[in-house]
Structure 1
């Protein structure tokens, strides 16, 4: 058997063993780079993708970081074509849809752990500030999850009048403000405190309640309500 045939045989054997381990033991049976290999198998059928999977984990810091990476950033990675990028992003999209479905199943305030998990998955690894609002009905059931601003590495501008306008369009009676800190530290800044104060005051005037403002960091979240800031 020639070297090329031996390499192909070894690669196919590795892929088969990895699939068997996953199907028998689930995600816990694999390391992060191996789980990423499974995704890349589907998009890159004729190459050993283990080095690429390890490179991506190193570059983005974690499996979650790879899934959350920008499309343009992934496209700039040597060895990743559009098919592989689409495979990676489709896994993230599927995970977020599943998480969001669980978070939306019951009133938000009595289902907070699932809502928190969804927000962490959706926002923790975004390399720029994003501001979203969870609009709620009278029973605190989620009406809409709206990205209001997709900003820069340290700013995402949101104006109280835009918040109120969207709440009235949705017939929302309450809301939760959410944004991320790309630095990873969820500690509120003075600008965060002032912006929240302005939004709360504007919403109060028309009877819309702001339950909380959540800041999402890479390793956790900060709640304005729990910190006594609102």
Structure 2
């Protein structure tokens, strides 16, 4: 394996004892090369057994302040791989995901993601997941996972920690301006748990409003205030 093709997987976690073990096991089952250098789970202060489960799976726990942008930046600072792969704690990779990332890098792409599917047959959510195949920044989100060369990550200064939500999309928007962005045709499977808990119509509507507010120039604080009031409440 070329050292230039080494992959660090970075997963921000907070009270994810129900899924994180399954996600790490799945990473091992779906990787097919020796490129995976490490799995870093960056914990934002879990009060459950998340960290213990991570350690029993042979992954590394890194302690961090709470906030996904802050956690992912800390993971990146501690990563030793040349390629950073950011994955949510409720998202499952496709077979040969590592091979597909390396292939995209070999084709000259410095950043990219997979298409995405939800673990539900809800037709509305399936439609929005279908849009993930479109290579436009408005169709991007963290649930699709994200790979980026570490040099490019550093050049673009990583995630903006002022964003308590929407940090993935804000960062990817900057990546689109700085690099060739690849949409890998295979799909990650992400949990629709938030939609099941809060109601798919409610969540999708308010996420749409957050997209619109961001597009219209809303500040990070306004986006989080709207999210806290309409989705977390």
TM interval, short-chain normalised: under 0.3
Higher Rg of the two aligned structures: 1
TM-score after normalising by structure 1: 0.26
Q: Which has the higher contact order (CA 8 A, sep 6+)?
A: 2
- Select the structure that is richer in helix: 1
